[in-house]
Structure 1
Amino acid sequence: MQEGGCHCGAVRYRIEGEPARAGLCHCTDCRRHTGAPVVGWAIYRQEQVETTGELSTYASSEHGRRQFCPGCGTSLFYLNDVIFAGLIDVQIATLDDPDAVQPIEQIQLAESIGWARTMQELPAFDRFPPDV
């Protein structure tokens, strides 16, 4: 079982079982909704996910529905009854233990930010660069 929630704690969720798949999405829609260059998603059957707290729903496309906390704005879920009927995408980073779900693929690379494909080549620091 996995648990997670929003930044302020008003929305919590619990997931029973394993995801059908998990990946990193580079699409423009995900990027603009989250403000992140890449978004990690794990897809589950809707009956696997139980939520508590109030969710707001935003129609981000003709068939896509994004659910988020109305208090802090944390993006949590994505639903699409045309592409993912009966399924729900959960943002991996909102899990209490995001390391528990391992992405197995990257999708929508056709829409990726150019530099997102080479992020692993940038200098990396455990916290801040020493000259900050």
Structure 2
Amino acid sequence: MNSAKDDVTTGRCMCGDVRYEFRGPPLETGHCHCESCRRHTSSSFVTYIVVDRTSFRYTSGKPVIYVSSPGVERGHCGRCGAPISYENKSELAVYACTLDDPNEVAPTMHVRADEQLPWIEIADHLPRYEFGKRDTPVRVGPRLEVK
């Protein structure tokens, strides 16, 4: 992922109506297993990137905002419906697969491991946090031994 302070990373929804950019490296990149993220993206987990809010801007269009819980806004494209973002008072995150080049992402953790679906297993060796990175990891690596 871009590491220089002035490097620009771009992304968009599926149809391209909503486009964004941010400058500098992400503040955090991980996989979230919470039910809210799963329901918003209709997937078994979501890979997200927390960015510096002051370096982020929409360059084309604006997402439709859905208040999913008190203090939490989730954005999606009003035309194609693609989920784009998660925002609360302390962070702004975009979903990794909205990046123009998602190969730039290198997740460093799993959060909300307490809500991980029992039928999904990711065989990486990243720390798993019950809630978020401020906690002690509940484990490092998969629940099951990978053979």
- TM-score where L is the length of structure 1: 0.83
CA RMSD in angstroms comes to 1.4
Alpha-carbon distance between aligned partners in 2 of 1:17 and 1:119, rounded to the nearest angstrom: 29
1:54-75 CA deviation, whole Å, 9 max, x = no partner?
3110001111100111111111
Off by >3 Å, runs of 4+ in structure 1: none
Structure with the bigger RCO (C-alpha within 8 Å, sep 6+) is 1
Cα distance in structure 2, aligned partners of 1:56 and 1:45: 21
Q: Kindly indicate whether residue 84 of structure 2 is the aligned counterpart of residue 76 of structure 1.
A: yes
Unaligned runs of 5+ in 2: 1-7, 125-147
The one-letter amino acid of 2:56's match is V
Task: Give the aligned length.
Answer: 116
Aligned to 1:12: 19
Q: Does 1:53 align with 2:64?
A: no
Q: Is it true that 1:63 corresponds to 2:71 in the alignment?
A: yes
How high is the TM-score relative to the length of structure 2? 0.75
Report percent identity of matched pairs. Answer: 34
Q: Which runs of 5+ in 1 are unaligned?
A: 121-132
Residue 14 of structure 2 contacts residue 82 of structure 2 at CA under 8 Å; is this kept in 1?
A: yes
Say if 1:59 and 1:74 are closer, same or farther in 2 by CA, change over 3 A. same
Q: Deviations over 1:72-120 (max 9, x none)?
A: 1111111111xx2xx3101011101011121100010111110112578
The question of whether the paired residues in 1 share the 8 Å contact of 2:75 and 2:86 is answered with yes
